[in-house]
Amino acid sequence: MKNCIAVITLCLVSAMHVKRVVDCEKTHTTYSAKIFGFSWENCGKPEDPAVLKTLVLSPDPITIPGDLTASASGSTTVELASPLAVNVTLEKEVAGFWIKVPCVDEIGSCQYTDVCNLLNLLIPPGQDCPEPLHTYGMPCHCPFKAGVYTLPESGFYLPDMDLPYWLTNGHYKVQGVFGSMEKELGCLKITFAVHSNTNHCLCLVRH
C-alpha cells in the first residue's frame, strides 16, 4: 500500500511532464469504479447569482458501470449566456496532502472559456436534450434564463467508460468557478472518494 501511494505520487508528479502523461495514458482501461461519500456545497460569494439548492445522488457508493438516481435544483437570478467560463480545480489527497491534478485532454484542473460552446459540441443544437432533461422540459443549451430549475428524482445508467488514468483510489475535491465577462456567477465544490478495481500504479511501473 505504501509503495502504491508512492507510485501514485510519482505518477501525479510525472503528470507535469507531458511525455510521461502520454505514456501514462496508454494504460487507459475500461474498469469499474465506486464513488463513495459524494458531497457538495456552494463556494461562491453570498451575492453570486447562480446557486445549487439541492443535489441528491444515490446509492452510496455509486458504481460505474451502474445505476444512479439523482435529483437537483438550482437557481440563477441572471441569464447565463455565452461566453460562460468555468475554472475547474481538481485536487487529490496523496499521503495527507492535496495535490492539484493538471489539465490533460480537457479533464483535470482546466479552464474552459465557454461552456456554451462545449454544450453545443456535446449536444448538437436542434436535437432534443438528453433524458431526463427532455421529459421535464429543461434546457441544455445557452442561454439559460433567470429562474429556478428543478430536476425531479430520475434514474440514469452510468455506462462502462474509459476513466482518466489519474482516477486512482483516494479522496478528491473539485471546485468549479463560473463566470462571464469578468463577473463571478457561482461556485460549486464537490468531494468524493474513489475505489477502482484496476491498479493504475501500472502507469509508472511499466517504465
Ligand X SMILES: *[C@@H]1O[C@H](CO)[C@@H](O)[C@H](O)[C@H]1NC(C)=O
Site for ligand X, residues 165 to 194, rule: CB under 6 A: 177-179
Whose Cβ is closer to ligand X: residue 86's or residue 104's?
A: 86
Site string for ligand X, 94-123 (x = CB under 6 A): -----------------x------------
56: β partners: 71
We find the least distance from the C-beta atom of residue 176 to ligand X, in angstroms, to be: 9
How many Å apart are CA 3 and CA 111, to the nearest integer?
A: 33
Is residue 87 involved in binding ligand X (CB under 6 A)?
Answer: yes
Query: For 52, what's the count of Cα atoms within 13 Å in the CB-facing half-sphere?
Result: 19
64 is a site residue for ligand X (CB under 6 A): no
For residue 70, give every residue at least 6 positions away whose Cβ sits within 8 Å of its Cβ, in sequence order, or none: 55, 56, 57, 58, 151, 153, 154, 156
Q: Please, what is the minimum distance in Å from the beta carbon of residue 53 to ligand X? A: 21
| CA 27/CA 15 separation, integer angstroms | 14
Binding status of residue 77 toward ligand X by CB under 6 A: no
Q: Does 54 bind ligand X (CB under 6 A)?
A: no
C-alpha to C-alpha distance for 35 and 47, rounded to whole angstroms: 32
| Residues engaged in binding ligand X (CB under 6 A) | 85, 87, 111, 177-179
